[in-house]
Amino acid sequence: MKINAIAIVTAAAFFAGCAGDTDKNQNTTADTGIAADIKHHIAVLANDSLMGRKPFTKGEEKTINYIASEYKKLGLEPGNNGSYFQEVPMVEITSTANDMSISGKTTMALKPGVDFVASTRREQDTLSLKNSPLVFAGFGVVAPEFNWNDYKGLDVKGKTVIVLVNDPGFKAPEKLFKGDTMSYYGRWTYKYEEAARQGAAGVIIVHQTQPASYGWQVIQNSFAGSKLYLQQADKHMNRCKVEGWISEQAATKLLASAGFNGNIRDYARRKDFKAVALGSSVSLDLKNNLKYSKSNNVIGIIQGTERPHETILYTAHWDHFGIGKPDAKGDSIYNGAVDNASGVAAILAVAKKFASQKEKPKRSIVFLAVTAEEQGLLGSEYYATHPIYPLNKTVADLNLDALSDFGETSNFSITGKGQNDLDDYVIKLTKAKGWDVVGDENPGSGSYYRSDHFNFAKVGVPALDLHNGAKSIQRGEEFGKEKLKEYNDQRYHQPSDEYSDAMDTRGMAQTTDLMYKLGVQLSNETTFPGWKKGSEFKAVRDKAMGK
């Protein structure tokens, strides 16, 4: 969409009075000013009037103009050659599927949105699978470093592969891959990519709640309906015709017809596993509505006083799912208060802290609110492949995504802990407060590959994703664990992730303040943090830095 600076409205004028008050009279170690600012911004960004902040909608226009107006109010300069916006060309594909027909050893008619979801990246009005032979390909993984190849000796051209979510290491009786810590081979994005490399016509992932780390309703809400993709010169014709998921219940019935009646994951992780033709084929028609447009990243900068060409990057995604399937209460607006109005609120709070400093940073501080994270990390991917500031001069990416709203904690979680030197900075900062640092609270969920920092890691920029842990200062660790589980089960990617005056943003303020202090330290240093030995991202960075 075309963005006009005149259209930018101030938060005070457009959303006056919508934020609740932060608890002011309780004992707290958090910065209450940051907590109040965060709560105000969440109330604005998660308001129904933004319609769930989906790209290509009026909700996008309101959202990005709000963020840009806040940048301007704080005195941040436009970060893209005089503009606060970086256009991100995308295609929106809305796929409508008929029943999925299974024929052969078993006959099944699976219902779209109930038993399966299916979409395509191919920019075609219609496409079909016609009697495509089904093959169970285990985890759908080719990992030479782990001596693993589920496609060994298999020709899947014209066929549709059924694969399991996560990787062989998850809950395995012996150590495989990274154990319960998901590798990139466990991510659904990888499954689609590998199936395409193998030449498959279709790829269908079997959903299982524990190894996926989310329930079937997340698939129904997040993977159905319209999807956004970065525009590609080949119109995505190198991808499988159909990419989709099947419910565990439907998959169990399908696989049982081919003789799989036990624990399918145990079978697939056997060292002598070989892909198995299921003796059935699948037919499916997709009708697609294509819409070409441009979404926007929102970027502001505070220029460094001595080394302005060197940058510290703060990122958070502004988007969510817009208006979609109603919940049991009839609410169809996916407001995304925690995910990720909280992260955008946090980088705005950090920007305010930097802007109010009497002594300005020596390196430049860049604030990047990215689009289409929920569609596959697209906004950050676009920036990482079309950087405004050189990547080899980008000191670090500090990412804020889905901050917990249950108050202060005495521990903090680093997603992918052990990857780079930024961990050491955080450990030092928290130790001074008497706090602890842990790794992923749920390492099997593959969180390191599920937020925007991953795209910066892929191009070598040391990237940090920091969250509060589970040890609630006020109510203990069990309470914190219950709140984390409650969010994941009842609010994540659902209309119930909405703003409430009862949100306790003091824990968000803790994380935000840590990220601010880390940025201050990095901005006044002359050295560059690096990747630790053994990290898969070290070689990329070393090459970029001329090592």
- What is the spatial distance between Cα 38 and Cα 499, in angstroms, rounded to a whole number? 12
**Quick one: tokens of 344?**
């955008």
pLDDT exceeds cutoff 50 at 19: no
Name the residue ranges covered by the structural domains of the chain: 45-75+303-545, 92-290
Q: Give CA angle at 34 (33, 37), nearest 5°.
A: 90
Q: At what angle do helices 506-523 and 342-356 cross, to 10 degrees?
A: 50
pLDDT at 171: 94
For residue 314, give the amino acid letter: Y
Beta strands in 261-392 (DSSP E): 276-302, 307-317, 322-323, 333-334, 363-370
pLDDT at 28: 65
In tens, the pLDDT along 485-537 reads 999 999 999 999 999 999 999 999 999 999 999 999 999 999 999 999 878 88
pLDDT at 21: 42
- Identify which has the larger pLDDT, 113 or 14: 113
What are residue 109's phi and psi, to 5 degrees? -120, 105
Confidence of residue 412 (pLDDT cuts 50, 70, 90): very high
Residue 244 β-bridge partners: 118, 204
**Quick one: tokens of 503?**
């949100």
pLDDT exceeds cutoff 80 at 3: no
Average pLDDT, the chain: 92
**Quick one: tokens of 286?**
């997709």
pLDDT at 535: 84
CATH dotted code for 45-75+303-545: 3.40.630.10
The reported pTM is: 0.82
pLDDT at 1: 42
pLDDT at 9: 40
For residue 166, give the amino acid letter: N
- What is the spatial distance between Cα 498 and Cα 42, in angstroms, rounded to a whole number? 9
- Identify which has the larger pLDDT, 21 or 391: 391
Please confirm whether the linkage preceding 296 is cis (ω < 30° from 0): no
Region 73-95 average pLDDT: 97
pLDDT exceeds cutoff 50 at 456: yes
- What is the spatial distance between Cα 104 and Cα 282, in angstroms, rounded to a whole number? 9
In tens, the pLDDT along 364-401 reads 999 999 999 998 899 999 999 999 999 999 999 999 99
CATH dotted code for 92-290: 3.50.30.30
